[in-house]
Structure formats: structure tokens, C-alpha cells
Amino acid sequence: MNIPQSSFPRVVIIGGGFAGLAAAKGLEKQELQVVLIDKHNYHTFQPLLYQVATGGLEPDSIAFPLRKRFNDVENFYFRLANVLKINPEKNQLETSIGNLEYDELIIATGSTTNFFGNKNIQKYAMEMKSIPQSLNIRSLILENFEEALLTSNMDERNALMNFVIVGGGPTGVELAGALAEMKKGILPKDYPDLDIRQMQINLIQSSDCILKGMSAKASEKAEDFLIKLGVNIWKNLRVLDYDGKTVTTNSEDSFRAETVIWAAGVQGELVEGLATECVIERAARIKVDEFSKVINYKNIYAVGDIASMSSEKNPNGHPMMAQPAIQQGTLVAKNILAKLFNTKQKPFVYKDKGSMATIGRNKAVVDLPKWKFQGVFAWYVWMFVHLFSLIGFRNKAIVFLNWVYSYIRFDKETRLIIRSYKKHKKA
Amino acid sequence: MNIPQSSFPRVVIIGGGFAGLAAAKGLEKQELQVVLIDKHNYHTFQPLLYQVATGGLEPDSIAFPLRKRFNDVENFYFRLANVLKINPEKNQLETSIGNLEYDELIIATGSTTNFFGNKNIQKYAMEMKSIPQSLNIRSLILENFEEALLTSNMDERNALMNFVIVGGGPTGVELAGALAEMKKGILPKDYPDLDIRQMQINLIQSSDCILKGMSAKASEKAEDFLIKLGVNIWKNLRVLDYDGKTVTTNSEDSFRAETVIWAAGVQGELVEGLATECVIERAARIKVDEFSKVINYKNIYAVGDIASMSSEKNPNGHPMMAQPAIQQGTLVAKNILAKLFNTKQKPFVYKDKGSMATIGRNKAVVDLPKWKFQGVFAWYVWMFVHLFSLIGFRNKAIVFLNWVYSYIRFDKETRLIIRSYKKHKKA
């Protein structure tokens, strides 16, 4: 991997998402050598992927080059690689570009879509965890509409205009809302020869409310907003299968749809090599103590979505979201420094800053620890928080410009099929 | 293709580039049915492709959705399709989505890269005529640098950092300049563990000057600018072959390079079906009269790069650039209206508005019909003209913002490998 030997201890971080980035920031300008490994050369701001998928933002504005973030940091090395295996007994990583020894290892690989073992759904449904996947959804939506106006077969046309989103968490809700806004403002103008009323947006949730992690008020209000935007919400319905044509469920309801977006679950993106007792099979998460240290290892840490830090308050670990990831990443850096320089480590205490979701124009729900509100003001807060959290001035400015433009013009302009998804899929 | 029958004559336009778009604009709001067919659902602003390839602009900001441009026009139909064949005797097109009859046909298919029959070069060199191709170049450049820092083999590393651009026209010159700016301002910071002085940018031109179509002064000054930026200019050198490893030429000079960008020629993007006597084999262009009408056909026109309208002043037809395309597209629309509504047609007179090329920050060359100038002011003129020519307020604003940002920060931020080119190529 061509990383020079150094007299400083080497800390290797796998993953440049929220957790990995926070850890890397916390370790910069110290007497350390830091190596950050990621399979992409950029950080992805995942909370806005749904806007890329629905033509509201260009992908480049929610990505930030990892090298740029650290290019003024000494003793910092970035490597574009896939990590294949950890060899804890040798303190070594195997990667697609060679092996690397570490003194301290931070696993921040994040999460991937959880299909709960259903191979059909995995094969035919769309995921939305990365920029290329979001661009695939963008292409597919637009390609479906182009195809819909060619057919006179009503069943076929309906299937092309029928969107099924499985999972009523923030991803599913935000995507459903954004699709509903496309249906309202953009598609009728772009496809005057189609009757856009035939377009159906179905949001399927296995339990009895959407946005389960938020307050009852937020959930109710989000449901209300979505219904007003014309989204069909199916609660207490469980998707059993999808063969590329028809979604079958545990009730008599089935959906003939060309586009199914699976937002019903995530699981840790595991790396091979850790002892079985460290891994929670079901969620593919790594068990860590309150210092983010992987149990039974002395110099391996896990932070963010991949880590399960269970406590009395959070028996299943913290939610797989940006906030716990950032906070854990920041603390693990401090604790590694404390360990190396013999000062006192601190246990993790999750500071819940609240959560929020946007449904559409002037419609969002926000749960702060002491205040819960919905509507226009919540929408402004949502925008402000997301804009502020993006990395880089240029990205902030371009996202802001897009949002102002969309707001004034009721438009989303990046409805471009840069790479065909359908041809790609068939190839 | 599901285009309704209409009592109005049907004009079909193949291609939504500069020429096709101008023709479509000229035909809107008339007693006509207009069908625009393109293989992309967007118009590409080709003059800025090189900035996408070098991480200066996001692809979405130089593309504009074709449906949006015409979504308030009645009797206008867009279809995403490849045209396979023209059947002039039946007034019919064969396309990837079915057949379509036309009353009047405008061929505006533009041009494609001309490899002059060299299959090796076609296989191994990069082209830059479309957005996906430009994104491939962007990925390849960055992937090469990631790979270069992994190897200790100096030959390999040099090949990964050696860029050969074949063709000293505006495309080659602008790309060489943009690469040189990456070399100067961005790559040394992003890759501190590489000695960026090893990066070589070679611009190869078969004749004795670059920017052959421009004035001697522009050519000299552009050469001067490029040399100051560190570009190696090879004049009177002809590339004979490239096997993916080494570029061989008609002299003893050869280049070991992983990246060769072929900007040495374009040819018309022909559609099958026209009689042999209408086609100039060598350049793959269609012979048209001064009304843009294809010779020997009554209702078929060709405009832009694909059309060769030869005159005493332009024995080989007009240059394959935006200006003749736009002017021909605009006039052909008027002439078709004149024909259908029995008014007088006008012959085409090319109004040469001049030409320009940018080499880098504060460095451009401009030839106006009555005034030729180079340097900072030329650079401002270049930027203003290009910004003004982009379609859509949002695109203008985002490109402007990127340029201001780059100017102030000496940076180009979209250096993202969204899709790997190397893996894709191998797949």
C-alpha cells in the first residue's frame, strides 16, 4: 500500500462516512500516522441521497473529496481500496491493494441494505445507500416514464407508473414525498401525453405507524402530509416477495410495479476476520463497549452504524443514524489519544439532538428533545440543519441555490438519464 | 411510438444538439406537429465537456432536460430513442422504439469521434464527445493517480502519470490547459506522497501549429500559454498507434501512457438509408444545398456537424462547431415553414461570429471578425459568452458559482470517482 514506516503509532480507519470522518478529524495534527481507507474517494452526505434520486440535486453537490478534506494534514494517508479481511492476531488488514499493519484500528464501515435474506427482492428492488444507487433510481424513474408513453397496454403502463417504497422510516418517507412532488409539479408538464393521475406512489410499512423512531405527533403529521400529497400509505402490511413484476404481501394486496425501492432495513457492512462472539449475527453489527472498543480486542474499535453499543437505555445499540456516528467517531479519537498518551478515557454518552424528516415543500417534522413541531417552520429548520451539515462551502452554496430555485420555480431540474439503468441492468 | 395522427404536417428532428434544438425552437407554436428524437433525454453543452472531465464542473450543470425546454409547447413530442434507419421512399424512420412517418425530416445527429479506421486507438483511447465519456475521463485520471502512488516501479508510475492528448484543436488545447491547472494547483496537495513533477501532459498535433482554425496570433499565444503551464507540445507529429500501453508515432518518439485522449478528429454521425451519392464517405457528412436540403431529396434536411454545405468560400463545408449548427438549425426551420406555407425560402449565409479557446486562468484567445485579442480580457469574454450560451437559469447560476469559487480558491472540487472507469472497462 506504500504507506511509509513512521516512528508514530499508526491508526487505520476503515470508512469515510460520518463516523470515520469524525474520527479522522479528531486524530489530525497529533503525533500519529493516520490512514483512512474507503472504497469511494469521497464522503457521501447520505441524508440527501433521496434528492439525487428524484432529480432535485446533482450528485456532486452531496459528495466531498476525502483527499481534499485532509490535504493539509501531515502524516495523513488516504487509500482507495476495499478491505477484505482483518487479521487481529497479526494486527493486519488485507485489502484490494495489499496488506497493512495497524497499531489501532477503527472500523467505520457503516451499513448496507438489509434484504433479510430475500434473494428475489435483492435482485429486483432498488437500494438507495450510495450515490451510484441513487443515480440508478433517477434513471429508472425517468426511463419508466419514457417507456410508459410508448405502450397502449394499460397494465404495462400502470406497472411502469407504479412506485412501491418499502419501509416507512425517514428514507422511505422522504423519498415518497419527493416522488409525490415530482408527480404534482413536474411529470404532468414533461409528459403531457400521459395521464399522470395513473402514477401511484405506495409506501408500505410493516408496523402500525410510519417514522417509528420519532414522536407520535411527528408520525401522525407526516402521514397526514403524505396523504395530502397523494401517497398511498399501507400500514401493517409486510412485503413477502418481488419477482421483478409483482410485489406480494402477507395480505391479499399485491402490487404490479416496475420500480420497488427497498428502504425497509439496514445492516452493518461487516468486514471478515473478527471472532464470532464480537458479531451480532442478525443485524451484522459489532459489539463494542462504552469506549467503542470491540469486545475481546485491545486495539480494535467500531463506530457508527456498524457498532452496537448496548446499554440499559439502548439495549439494541444506538440508532443507525448520523448523530450517534459523529459523536462516537469524535469520542473514539479522543479515547485513542488518551490511551496512547496515557490520559483518562471517557465512556460514550449519547446526546440525542433530536431527529427530523422532510415530506415536501413547507412540510417537515422535527422532534427536538424538548420541543416537537411540524410544518413550515420545521421545514426551514430541516433545511438549515442539512445545509449547515454539508461539507464544504461550494456544496453548501450549490445545494442552497438548487433549493431556492426549486422553491421559486416549483421545479427540480436534474432529471437527466446520464447512464441508462435499464440497459446497464440488462448488460 | 405512440405519436398521435394530426391534421398538421409532421416535422421530425433527429438530435437535440445545437442544430436540432435551434430547429425545434424555430418550429414551435406553428401549425405543425414536431417530433424531436434523441438518444439522451438532455441537451449537452459540448464546449464545456472538458471541464467535466477535469473536475471543474458537475455534469448536471452542462446538461438540460429536453422535455423541460419544450414542455409548454403544443403539438411537440419528444422521444428517447436511437434512430436505426431512414426509409426515404416511405417517408419513414425506423427507431429502437418503432417506426415513424414524417412529412419533413431534419437530420441533426451531430458528430462522433473519428479514429480514421484505427481499431486499436478506438479500443484503448478515451473520447470526449458526451457526458458519460467525460465522466469516464474524470474517473480514469483520478484512478490513475490513486494507482500511481501504490507502485514503486518507476516506469509504471510514469505511465500512470503521463497524459497524451492527440489533436491540437480547441478540445485538445482546452483539455491540456485544464489538466495543467490540475497539475499545478490540485494534484500536489491531494497526492503529497507523489512527485507531481513526474506528471507529463503531452499535446500532439500533426501539423505545424495548434488551433489551426484560428488566427496565427491566437495559435502562437495559445502555444505560449500552454508552454508556460508546463504542457509539452509536439508539432508535426502523427500518432500511428496505441496498444493500451505505448503510443507510437511517425517519428522515433513514442509515449508510454495509461491515458490517451483522442481529440484528433470528428466525423458525422450518419444514419443508414440515404442514397450513396448524398454522403461524403471520408468525413461521413451529408451533402446539402444552400437551404440545408439533402441533395436529391425533397423533404429531408441536414444541419450542423452532420451536414456538408460546400460553397466557394467553404469547399469542405462549414466548420463542425456550434455557430454554424445554430445558424443552420434556425434557418432550416424558417425554410420549412416557408415551403409548407408557400413563402420564399432563403439560402444560408454563414455569419462568422468568431471563435475562441480558453487555456487556463486568465488565459484565453479570441478571434472576432474585426478584432483579435488574447489574455485576461479574452478570458473574461470567453467566460461571459459560454455562460450566456448555456441553457437555463439554474445551469448558468451553478456554472457561474463554480467558476467564481475556482477562481478565488484555485480549486476544482468535483474530483469524484462516482463510477470507476477501470472496473467498468474490465467488466
Please check whether the two domains, A10-39+81-113+266-340 and A119-264+361-426, share a CATH topology. Answer: yes
Q: Residue B394 and residue A405: Cβ atoms within 8 Å?
A: yes
Q: How far apart are CA B18 and CA B24, in angstroms?
A: 10
What part of B 122-181 touches A (C-beta under 8 Å)? 131-132, 135, 142-143, 146, 149-152
Q: Residue A401 and residue B405: Cβ atoms within 8 Å?
A: no
Angle at B397 between CA B396 and CA B398, to 5 degrees: 95
Q: Which residues contact A134 (CB under 8 A, 6 or more apart)?
A: A49, A50, A52, A53, A59, A128
- Tell me whether A192 touches chain B (CB under 8 Å): yes
CATH class of B119-264+361-426: alpha beta
- Write out pLDDT tens, residues A141-192: 999 999 999 999 999 999 999 999 999 999 999 999 999 999 999 999 999 9
Q: How far apart are CA B234 and CA B219, in angstroms?
A: 14
pLDDT band with cut points at 50, 70 and 90 for residue B423:
confident
Q: Which residues contact A214 (CB under 8 A, 6 or more apart)?
A: A222, A355, A357, A365, A367
- Tell me whether B396 touches chain A (CB under 8 Å): no
The nearest alpha carbon in chain A to B153 belongs to: A2
Residue B158 pLDDT exceeds 50: yes
Angle at B17 between CA B311 and CA B128, to 5 degrees: 95
What part of B 78-107 touches A (C-beta under 8 Å)? 79-80, 97-98
Mean pLDDT score of chain B, rounded to an integer?
96
- Tell me whether A396 touches chain B (CB under 8 Å): no
Q: Residue B41 and residue A77: Cβ atoms within 8 Å?
A: no
pLDDT band with cut points at 50, 70 and 90 for residue B370:
very high
Which among A4, A60, A392 has the least Cβ separation from residue B58?
A60
Predicted local confidence at residue A59, as pLDDT: 97
From B127, B174, B181, B223, active-site residue: B174
* Residues B184/B197, Cβ–Cβ less than 8 Å: no
Q: Which residues contact B427 (CB under 8 A, 6 or more apart)?
A: none
Predicted local confidence at residue B427, as pLDDT: 44
From A174, A181, A223, A258, active-site residue: A174
Q: Where in chain B are the domains?
A: 10-39+81-113+266-340, 119-264+361-426
Predicted local confidence at residue A133, as pLDDT: 97
Weakly modelled stretches of chain A, pLDDT under 50? 427
Residues in chain B closer than 8 A to A54 (CB atoms): none
Q: Residue A394 and residue B405: Cβ atoms within 8 Å?
A: yes
Q: B121-130 burial string, b = 16+ CB within 10 Å, else e?
A: beebbbbbbb
What part of A 26-65 touches B (C-beta under 8 Å)? 40-42, 58-61, 63-65
Q: Tell me the three cell numbers of residue A267.
A: 445492516
Cα→Cα distances A21→A16, A36, A71, A95, A347, Å: 5, 9, 14, 20, 20
User: Three-state SS for B5?
Assistant: coil
| Strand spans (E) along B21-179 | 33-38, 42-44, 63-65, 76-80, 83-87, 92-95, 98-101, 104-107, 111-113, 162-166
> Has A174 been annotated as catalytic?
yes
**Residues in chain A, overall count:** 427
- Write out pLDDT tens, residues B65-107: 999 999 999 999 999 999 999 999 999 999 999 999 999 999 9
Long-range contacts of residues B26-32, Cβ cutoff 8 Å, at least 24 apart: B26/B329, B26/B330, B26/B332, B26/B333, B26/B334, B26/B337, B27/B333, B27/B336, B27/B337, B28/B70, B28/B73, B28/B76, B29/B73, B29/B74, B30/B337, B32/B8, B32/B75, B32/B337, B32/B340
* Residues A20/A13, Cβ–Cβ less than 8 Å: yes
Which among B64, B80, B392 has the least Cβ separation from residue A146?
B80
Q: Residue B416 and residue A191: Cβ atoms within 8 Å?
A: no
Question: Which fold would CATH assign to domain A10-39+81-113+266-340?
Answer: FAD/NAD(P)-binding domain (3.50.50)
- Preferred mutation among B190, B402, B404, B408 to probe A, highest tally of A CBs within 10 A: B190
- Preferred mutation among B49, B150, B420 to probe A, highest tally of A CBs within 10 A: B150
Beta carbons within 10 angstroms of residue B5's beta carbon: 8
What part of A 342-381 touches B (C-beta under 8 Å)? none
Residue B19 pLDDT exceeds 90: yes
- Tell me whether B1 touches chain A (CB under 8 Å): yes
Predicted local confidence at residue A427, as pLDDT: 44
Find the mean pLDDT for residues B120-124. 96
Q: Residue B60 and residue A63: Cβ atoms within 8 Å?
A: no
Report ipTM (2 d.p.): 0.95
* Cα A151 versus chain centre, distance: 35
* Residues B235/B77, Cβ–Cβ less than 8 Å: no
Residues in chain A closer than 8 A to B82 (CB atoms): none
CB contacts < 8 A, A to B, total 140
Q: How far apart are CA B12 and CA B28, in angstroms?
A: 12
Entry pTM: 0.96
**In this predicted structure, which of A254-268, B233-247, B304-318 has the lowest mean pLDDT?**
B304-318
Residues in chain A closer than 8 A to B80 (CB atoms): 143, 146, 417
Q: Residue B413 and residue A65: Cβ atoms within 8 Å?
A: yes
Cα radius of gyration (chain A): 22
Cα radius of gyration (chain B): 22
Find the mean pLDDT for residues B213-226. 97
Predicted local confidence at residue B34, as pLDDT: 98
- Tell me whether A2 touches chain B (CB under 8 Å): yes
Beta carbons within 10 angstroms of residue B347's beta carbon: 12
